[in-house]
Structure 1
Amino acid sequence: MLFQIASFLLDVVGGLLTGACLLRLYMQWQRVPFANPVGGVVFALTDWLIMPLRRVIPPVGRWDVSSLVAAALLQLVQYSLLTLLLGAASAWAWLPWLALFGLARVAVSGLIGLLIVYAVMSWVQARSPLSDVIARLCEPVLRPFRRIIPLVGGIDLSPLAVLVLLQVVMIVLGHLQASVMR
């Protein structure tokens, strides 16, 4: 029970910080301005880690590599702490792989969250700076699906299709991660 509680708390804190680093990377890549509530939260959660890394790791084009490295380091720390709590000496060799799968799972979970918020906001027609940011972040993912999936009765089903696909990706990642741990 104690391990489950510690694992859950590490998942929450590690997922939140890793997700914020990945969101910072994605917002910069999509050139979404940070002068909005989302950008303020992202900066508040990530500046303490990313700013020192930027002194060592420069950006590559539109890619803020320090944000990606910070996210990977956070996942590595999370799985290292879980390995210490579990006392599994054999798991140390697989730590980079576990962190990589964890990073992918956080990215997919974050995208699922963005798409759900986007869908709900599209139903209620909320006009706010937040809805514009969410729409700009979701559009690149939805655009290819909108080319294939027609409107059904005036309703865009592309977010639903992407959510189903992302859930399949989460299942695959979960199984891959579990197979690495065995």
Structure 2
Amino acid sequence: MLYKIVALLLEVVSGLLTTTALLRLYMQHQRIPLSARSGNPLGRFIFALTDWIVLPLRRVIPALGRWDMASLTAAFLIQLAHFAVLWSLNGFGVTPMSIVVLALLGMVRLSLSGLTAMVLVYAVLSWVQTQSFLSELLDRLVTPLLAPIRKVLPLVGGVDLSPLVLLVVLQIFTIVLGDVQYGLLSAVAG
């Protein structure tokens, strides 16, 4: 029971930190300003949760084009720490390489979950036609993902089904990823 409680707390804390680092990475790639002067209310929150790890990493890890590799490395290191703690609590039952793979898969899983949440909120906000900072921000984050689908899928009766298609694709990737993680854990434990 204690293991399950610790695992839950680790999942919440590492999930929040990893997701925030990945959001920082994606927002910077999309050139969405994060500074307080920009009026972005999420910027201060993102900086508060990620500066402690991203800024030191930036001194040694350069950006790769528009990709902030320090934010990506931070997300990976947080997931690695998460699985390393679980590994140690579990009696070192799996190989260290498995921890690295699980950390990578955990980072991908959180990316898929975050994208799914953004697309859902984007779709709901598109129905009510609000003009808010959140709807504009989500539009800038989600539209690049929907653009390839919109090129192939026309409007159906005046309704844009591209968010639904993207949600289905994200869910398929999530199912495949879950099976890969389960298979890896089963092979290691068995």
TM-score scaled by length of structure 2: 0.91
Aligned pair partner of 2:71 in 67, 70, 91? 67
- Counterpart for residue 162 of structure 1: 166
Structure with more relative contact order (C-alpha pairs < 8 Å, separation 6 or more): 1
Q: Kindly provide the CA deviation profile for residues 119-177 of structure 1, in whole angstroms up to 9, marking residues without a partner as x.
A: 11111211111211110000110001111222122221110111011011001001111
The residue number in structure 2 matching 1:118 is: 122
Letter aligned with residue 80 of structure 1: A
* 1:32 counterpart letter in structure 2: I
Q: 2:13 is matched with which residue?
A: 13
Work out which of the residue numbers 96, 105, 129 in structure 1 matches 2:133.
Answer: 129
List alignment gaps of at least 5 residues for structure 2: none
CA distance in 2, matches of 1:161, 1:151: 12
Matches within 5 A, 1:20-59: 20-34=20-34, 35=38, 36-59=40-63
- How far apart, in 2, do the equivalents of 1:153 and 1:40 lie? 41
Alignment partner of 1:123: what SS? Answer: helix
Where does structure 1 lack aligned partners over 5 or more consecutive residues? none
Which residue number in structure 2 is paired with residue 181 of structure 1?
A: 185
Structure 1 contact 38–130 (Cα < 8 Å) conserved: no
Letter in 2 for 1:161: V
Alignment partners' CA distance in 2, 1:60 and 1:130: 28
Match of 2:151 in 1: 147
Q: What are the equivalent positions in structure 2 for 1:79-90 lying under 5 Å apart?
A: 79-90=83-94
Measured in 2, the distance between the counterparts of 1:87 and 1:27 equals: 38
AA aligned opposite 1:20? T
Aligned residues of 2:87 and 2:94 also touching (Cα < 8 A): no
Q: 1:23-74 deviations in whole A, cap 9, x for unaligned? A: 1111111111213112222112111110111111121221111001000000
Any idea what SS the aligned residue of 2:158 has?
coil
Deviates more, 1:170-179 or 1:1-10: 1-10
The question of 1:172 aligning with 2:162 is answered no
User: How many positions carry a matched residue from both structures?
Assistant: 182
Q: Match of 1:94, SS?
A: helix
CA distance in 1, matches of 2:125, 2:43: 18
- Could you tell me whether the CA contact under 8 Å between 1:146 and 1:158 is conserved in 2? yes
Length-normalised TM-score, structure 1: 0.95
Q: What is the DSSP-based 3-state SS (H/G/I as helix, E as strand, rest coil) of the residue aligned with 1:90?
A: coil
8 Å CA contact 2:19–2:75 kept in 1: the answer is: yes
